[in-house]
Amino acid sequence: MKPRVLSLLALALLPSVALAQRGRDRGTKADFDAMIGSSPVGLRLSNGDVEDMNPVKLLVDKRKDLKLTDDQLKQIRAMNDALKESTRPQFKVLDSLRIAMRPRAGADEEVERVRIQLARQDVMDLVKAIREGYDAKLKEAVALLDESQKAKADELVARQAKDAEETLAKALGGGRGAMGGGRRGRPPAN
């Protein structure tokens, strides 16, 4: 399967490489930002996209739909604040990986392809780790809800998970499940 993926990746990159070569032949500078935007190897996943995958933040945002009490809201907000603080270093790494996924002018194409592919895998692993942290905190937050709130939260979180998978598939390339699975709702209670 990997040779097929690599072949598809090479085919997707050919127009960008040809465009860059054409630009150099005419004495003009290649537009690498345009190449990144049109190429499947460029990272189009922002920190905001990953933050929008936070189900605890979703519970805070949908507090009226969930009919949270003041005490519930206060506790869930505190969980969300702690989660934001704990993921701050991971988001700095994501920023670095975004830079690492940019093609470098004049570098060997094969080396660039491998380097970008490795950075893409690092992004996938990092986002998976962030989402696992989100799931763990969600389990704590859901424990604060009553049964009717849990049912509504399940519905909201399932919709968010579906949207997250679509965002990841678009941003990282590949089909559904680009992250090796994904949440389909609230994690099981232990």
Q: What does the DSSP assignment read for 47-104?
A: HHHHHTT-HHHHHHHTHHHHT--HHHHHHHHHHHHHHHHHHHHHHHHHHHHHHHTSPP
For the ranges 33-42, 69-78, 140-149, the lowest mean pLDDT is seen at 33-42
Which tokens in the block code for residue 120?
A: 């893409």
Q: What is the mean pLDDT of the chain?
A: 78
39-83: pLDDT as tens digits:
444 678 889 999 999 999 999 999 999 999 999 999 999 999 999
Alpha-carbon span 21 to 28, nearest angstrom: 10
22: amino acid identity, one letter: R
